[in-house]
Structure 1
């Protein structure tokens, strides 16, 4: 992996959905009592961040389908699109039941991922950047999804965590199948993420009354595990 990509990962490597850092001051604090059980700050953060993940990984998956130069990269893009369309449908369904406001834009840090990959020309550089950035973000979040699954008392959040766990593992697998993942660099980035300010990793709150962005499922969503 080239020096440019190493710098990109150093600047941008932060988990795609929840992350090692947290903007919550008290993750276990109950913020609402719902018909599905108590909702904690960590639960609410999880729902928001799953939504934000789709808002950047879905368009990046579309990029990979259009710009990927190997069948494995194109397949990985198809898995991102299908997986996050399915997750997004679940989030949009449960958010009103939980009283959670979901974003319509990814965080500034996640928008940086999109910009980095959008700037790559079609070719090996895009393929390599795509596989490694997505492997870092998914590898970083994997254990955190499991933690939410094991600790939440909310049945809707628990079901979302089940779906997210399956999807994240699938996306890790398809990135590795590209043969482009630099494991030494990726594992370093996973274990030493930069300390970014909360403003960089928090998706903006949508304007009141704004329509909800919908991630449209592909005609054939079979490439990626779906649930919901």
Structure 2
């Protein structure tokens, strides 16, 4: 991997955050008791994490379709776009039923990922994109597993199931490019976070602004999991 990305990741990507600061101080504290089961702070934070992941990986996927220099990179971009469009629809559905406020923008950290990749070109883009998204998705997969095994809310459980399949698919297609720097991924997954909370927290939506929708491509064959709704 190029030195430029190593420096960028060193300052932007840390395992504590997939771009979302944990909002609650007591993750097991029950904050609501809907008919679908008790909702904890950890459950709420997970729904926000899924939303935030899509808000930056979806545009990165679109950029990969345009700037990727190999068929494998373009294929990875297609999976990111289709997968996050479908997953985000399920996420918005679940959030609406559980009265969870979702962001319309990713965190400043995640916005930094997007800006870096927008500035890249050629093979540098291919390598930076696959490694950055692979590192973030590896961390998200760990969060999914934790929530899936602990949540008592059926809607959150269903969203975790869909997120698990989507993220595993993305990891697989990224690795198939042959461009992922696994050494750098390991560093990012095992380095303690030094970022302030405001850098890894998505800003709240502006009052009255329409909710951002990640639109699936016309040829998409993916759809939200029925169990998530």
The normalised TM-score by structure 1 is: 0.93
Where does residue 137 of structure 2 map in the other structure?
138
CA drift at 1:114? 0.5
Task: Compare 32-41 and 157-166 and name the one that shifted more.
Answer: 32-41
- 1:83 and 1:15, CA in 2 relative to 1: closer, same or farther beyond 3 A? farther
Alignment partners' CA distance in 2, 1:163 and 1:126: 28
- 1:5 and 1:88, CA in 2 relative to 1: closer, same or farther beyond 3 A? same
Where does residue 168 of structure 2 map in the other structure?
169
- 1:16 and 1:193, CA in 2 relative to 1: closer, same or farther beyond 3 A? closer
| 1:111-159 superposed Cα distances (whole Å, 9 cap, x missing partner) | 00100001112x1000010011011101122121101000000000000
Structure 1 gaps, min length 5: none
Structure 2 gaps, min length 5: none
2:193 is aligned with 1:227? no
Residues 20 and 201 in structure 2, CA contact (< 8 A), matched pair in contact too: no
Residues 19 and 106 in structure 2, CA contact (< 8 A), matched pair in contact too: no
Residues 6 and 184 in structure 2, CA contact (< 8 A), matched pair in contact too: yes
| 1:20-52 superposed Cα distances (whole Å, 9 cap, x missing partner) | 973421000011111211110000001111111
Q: 4+ residue stretches of structure 1 with deviation over 6 A? A: none
Where does residue 209 of structure 2 map in the other structure?
210
Number of residue-to-residue matches in the alignment? 226
Where does residue 197 of structure 2 map in the other structure?
198
C-alpha RMSD of the superposition? 1.9
Q: Any idea what SS the aligned residue of 1:162 has?
A: helix
2:87 is aligned with 1:87? yes
Alignment partners' CA distance in 2, 1:32 and 1:14: 30
- 1:11 and 1:166, CA in 2 relative to 1: closer, same or farther beyond 3 A? same
- 1:49 and 1:211, CA in 2 relative to 1: closer, same or farther beyond 3 A? same
Alignment partners' CA distance in 2, 1:214 and 1:101: 14
CA drift at 1:198? 1.3
Where does residue 113 of structure 2 map in the other structure?
113
Alignment partners' CA distance in 2, 1:47 and 1:177: 28
Residues 19 and 141 in structure 1, CA contact (< 8 A), matched pair in contact too: no
Where does residue 39 of structure 2 map in the other structure?
39
Where does residue 183 of structure 2 map in the other structure?
184
Task: Compare 86-95 and 8-17 and name the one that shifted more.
Answer: 8-17
Alignment partners' CA distance in 2, 1:16 and 1:58: 21
Alignment partners' CA distance in 2, 1:207 and 1:6: 34
Residues 30 and 41 in structure 2, CA contact (< 8 A), matched pair in contact too: yes
Alignment partners' CA distance in 2, 1:78 and 1:106: 20
